[in-house]
Structure 1
Amino acid sequence: MYLLGIDLGSSSVKVSLVEGDTGHCVASAYQPQREMPMIAKKMGWAEQEPALWWRYVQLATREVLKLSGVNGQEVAAVGISYQMHGLVLVDKDFQVLRPSIIWCDSRAAEIGEQAFHELGEEKCLTHLLNSPGNFTASKLKWVKDNEPEIYARAYKMLLPGDYLALKLTGEPATTVSGLSEGIMWDFQEEKPADFLLEYFGIDPALIPDIVPTFGEQGKLGLQAADELGLKVGIPVAYRAGDQPNNGFSLNVLQPGEIAATAGTSGVVYGVSSKVTYDKFSRVNTFAHVNHKKNAKRLGVLLCVNGSGILNSWMYRNIGQGNLTYDQMNLMASDVPIG
């Protein structure tokens, strides 16, 4: 039995095939071979075409099956990790209405800041654990205000991973963890944040059904199975944003455990059992992959934007081709703390 993992990043889509019994990675592939295109029509904007995400999922999945020699009919389930905080809007036919406004797009920052002050900082922090900031809910409000014809046609709002799951199963859905990263989850009420949606004038019906992070979220449809070379009806059994997923992959699940990872951005991610917040918004708090109403698990996230490109700058200008990234990491590990 094999399991297929899809990781939707902002630079590429990576697909890995693992043995279900051992966890051994049989093969991995990523697409495109060069960095994924990003649309920036204005300063501070960042968009990507969801159709391209799906195309790269197809290419990378086919490549993994070819590299491994595994028959796609032997894959028993699919899991998804994805770039957080993005917005995808689809109509009733599940057609994408506009490019996705992705995590590093800053156009909605003022909208979120205004909501933070007008709703009240204490109200937002105690219920959302964050300022609405530049997250998904604020991006949806931006579309409502600036592209009303698009908003009027929207049937469901999705996070990037929700979109991939929709393509796989034909069913729009999201998770508590996903809604929390979009700042649309009320941790006091343990339900979608109606007060924020009402303030923004957003129709709550745009939020799709909520499915568990772990467990059957839908079955692979005929068209998706044909496009990927997989078996019809296998479950999509896991979905989480990249940072909660990174914590999970490093077995960071219980209060006090911490993960540090680096990619396009650098992140320190710790788990807490307390529904609390940073009143200075230096860190963000979201529902972790194992968060439950009766067993709180919150992921506290410190993000350093640009760590990937800074690391690349070090590699080119200091290493000057004489050092590998692994050698740079070893040198950095010898530097005393502080």
Structure 2
Amino acid sequence: MLLLGIDIGTSSIKVAVVDSETQQVITSAQFPEEESLITAIHPGWAEQSPAMWWEHVQQAFTICKASGKFNPHDITSIGIAYQMHGLVLVDKDQQLLRDSIIWCDSRAVDLGNGAFDALGHEFSLSHLLNSPGNFTASKLAWVKQNEPELYAKIDKVMLPGDFIAMKLTSQVTTSISALSEGIFWDFQTNSLSAELMSYYGFSESLIPEIKPVFSEHGRVSSAIAGELGLKEGTPVTYKAGDQPNNALSLNVLEPGEVAATAGTSGVIYGVSDQLTFDDQSRVNTFAHVNYAEEQKRLGVLLCINGTGSLNRWTKNLFGSSMSYAAMNAEAKKVKIGADGLRVLPFGNGAERMLENRLVGVHFQNIDLNLHSQAHLFRGVQEGIAFAFRYGFDIMRSNGMSPSVIRAGKANLFLSELFLQAFVNSTGVPVELYENDGSVGAALGSGIGAKTFSAPAEAFSNIRCLQVVEPTVTETYEPVYQEWLGLLNKQININ
């Protein structure tokens, strides 16, 4: 049996066809090759077109189909992973009402902070496990306040994965995991938060039917089956945010297990069995893919908005003719600490771990007679690693102390320099695996369709590629402490 996985990323759409028996990829594709457009008409705003996502899903699947390596009618289930926290709005005819306000958009921070104060910090943290902050519910409140005529036309509120599932099946569903990442869910009552919905003036009719993550979320319609060549009635049996899905793809499902990723954004994601929260909502807690009221599995998420995006920006401006591998090789020629150059990597919207401050990217201590292109490359990667350390210390203060972190060997984790900076800054080894969001989504669909008897069976062939151990923590520590001092000064300015 074949499984189809779709990953709705910020940069591109990835699609993979996976053999359920071997868990091996038959074929995969990414579209577009270059990064997708993010629209920012005001500072701190970020939008993308859901219609563009859907067009790119079709293009990526068409590329897979053109490989001739599989029969689309042999696909038995579909899974979807998606960029978290995005707001998608449709009318009663399932027509889009506006572009999506995506995860790194900061316009709703003040509204979320107002809700945090009005609902009460103790209530918000104990019931929602987070401040409403800059999450999906607050983005919807912004639309209600600033686009009232459009708001009046809304039939359903969705996250990005819900929208793609709707395009495939014409059905609209969501999950507890999705609602929790939007800060709509009350973990004490195990229901929609009546208090938050009332405070913002939202009708519960805006919320789609709630289904388990691993369950049927609709079946491919005849029209879409005809367009894509899929078998009519193929079920969508899994939907999850990209970070819970990344954790699933690394078989991170039980308390104490931790996953990391460093793509467009950087994330450390640990699993807990406690309704835990950070007093300042700097790290956030959501329902994991295997959350159930009787067996709580929560994902504790640290997010740095701009990791790979900063590395890409640096390449475009200072190394446009170079590959990332060449950049990494140049950076390795510079010693640890980049001869005093320090980089604060916070230029992609309000940072939750910095209490929703807009800090920006800062290059500190540049010496025009000393620092070269290679110093910039090293300073950026070290700065990103130090941002991970800063957030990881917050997680430690909240009881998350893993002995190892699992990550996919991709994006910044392909860089030996970044890996060494990461493990020596945090003091925790990293296990690297072959890992891909679309493959995780495909295997998730197999779990939802009961192709696998248990989640562990879906990852029975997972193999560790490499273990990277801390070796020179004492060398990195003073560099980190200097970086931390510069960050604290900048935070005080803001």
TM-score range, shorter chain: over 0.9
Number of equivalent positions: 338
Structural mapping, 1:276-315, within 5 Å:
276-312=276-312
> Equivalent residue for 2:379?
none
Deviation at 1:71, TM superposition (A): 1.4
Q: Distance in 1 between matches of 2:217 and 2:414?
A: 41
CA contact (8 A) 1:3 1:18 kept: yes
> Equivalent residue for 1:178?
178
Check 1:49–1:331 CA distance in 2 against 1; reply closer, same or farther (3 A cut).
closer
Q: Distance in 1 between matches of 2:20 and 2:3?
A: 6
Deviation at 1:314, TM superposition (A): 6.2
What one-letter code is carried by the residue in structure 1 that aligns with 2:416? L
Deviation at 1:145, TM superposition (A): 0.7
> Equivalent residue for 2:34?
34
> Equivalent residue for 2:461?
none
User: What does the per-residue CA deviation read over 1:153-193, in whole Å, with 9 as the maximum and x for residues that have no partner?
Assistant: 00000000000011111111101000000000000001111
Check 1:130–1:217 CA distance in 2 against 1; reply closer, same or farther (3 A cut).
same
> Equivalent residue for 1:61?
61
Q: Distance in 1 between matches of 2:232 and 2:284?
A: 39
> Equivalent residue for 2:195?
195
Q: Distance in 2 between matches of 1:81 and 1:6?
A: 6
SS for the counterpart of 1:321 is: helix
1:161 and 2:161 correspond = yes
1:329 and 2:334 correspond = no
What one-letter code is carried by the residue in structure 2 that aligns with 1:331? L
Q: Distance in 1 between matches of 2:145 and 2:306?
A: 30
CA contact (8 A) 1:62 1:229 kept: no
Q: Distance in 1 between matches of 2:176 and 2:169?
A: 19
Q: Distance in 1 between matches of 2:315 and 2:216?
A: 43
Check 1:14–1:327 CA distance in 2 against 1; reply closer, same or farther (3 A cut).
closer
> Equivalent residue for 2:117?
117
Q: In terms of mean alpha carbon deviation, does 184-193 or 68-77 score higher?
A: 68-77
1:229 and 2:315 correspond = no
> Equivalent residue for 2:52?
52
> Equivalent residue for 2:395?
none
> Equivalent residue for 1:244?
244
Check 1:167–1:328 CA distance in 2 against 1; reply closer, same or farther (3 A cut).
closer
Structural mapping, 1:84-99, within 5 Å:
84-99=84-99
Judging by fraction of residues, say which structure has more helix: 2
Check 1:196–1:290 CA distance in 2 against 1; reply closer, same or farther (3 A cut).
same
1:142 and 2:228 correspond = no
What one-letter code is carried by the residue in structure 1 that aligns with 2:233? G
> Equivalent residue for 2:11?
11
What one-letter code is carried by the residue in structure 2 that aligns with 1:142? W
Deviation at 1:69, TM superposition (A): 2.3
Deviation at 1:34, TM superposition (A): 1.4
Q: Distance in 2 between matches of 1:2 and 1:333?
A: 34
User: What does the per-residue CA deviation read over 1:175-221, in whole Å, with 9 as the maximum and x for residues that have no partner?
Assistant: 10000000000000011111101000011110000011002111111
Q: Distance in 1 between matches of 2:173 and 2:412?
A: 39
TM-score normalized with structure 1 length: 0.96
Check 1:180–1:93 CA distance in 2 against 1; reply closer, same or farther (3 A cut).
same
CA contact (8 A) 1:29 1:61 kept: yes
What one-letter code is carried by the residue in structure 1 that aligns with 2:104? C
Check 1:40–1:219 CA distance in 2 against 1; reply closer, same or farther (3 A cut).
same
CA RMSD across the alignment:
1.8
Q: Distance in 2 between matches of 1:327 and 1:158?
A: 32
Q: Distance in 2 between matches of 1:17 and 1:320?
A: 28
SS for the counterpart of 1:106 is: coil
CA contact (8 A) 1:315 1:321 kept: no
User: What does the per-residue CA deviation read over 1:303-335, in whole Å, with 9 as the maximum and x for residues that have no partner?
Assistant: 111111233356675879354678962234445
What one-letter code is carried by the residue in structure 2 that aligns with 1:36? S
TM-score normalized with structure 2 length: 0.66
Check 1:142–1:314 CA distance in 2 against 1; reply closer, same or farther (3 A cut).
closer
What one-letter code is carried by the residue in structure 2 that aligns with 1:151? Y
CA contact (8 A) 1:32 1:56 kept: yes
Q: In terms of mean alpha carbon deviation, does 290-299 or 45-54 score higher?
A: 45-54
What one-letter code is carried by the residue in structure 1 that aligns with 2:79? G
Q: Distance in 2 between matches of 1:68 and 1:258?
A: 37
Q: Distance in 2 between matches of 1:305 and 1:37?
A: 17
Q: How much identity, in percent, do the aligned residues show?
A: 54
CA contact (8 A) 1:315 1:323 kept: no
Q: Distance in 2 between matches of 1:252 and 1:243?
A: 11
Structure 2 gaps of 5+ residues are: 330-410, 425-471, 478-494
CA contact (8 A) 1:213 1:238 kept: yes
Q: Distance in 1 between matches of 2:310 and 2:257?
A: 27
Q: Distance in 1 between matches of 2:63 and 2:255?
A: 39
Check 1:55–1:121 CA distance in 2 against 1; reply closer, same or farther (3 A cut).
same
Q: Distance in 1 between matches of 2:284 and 2:413?
A: 32
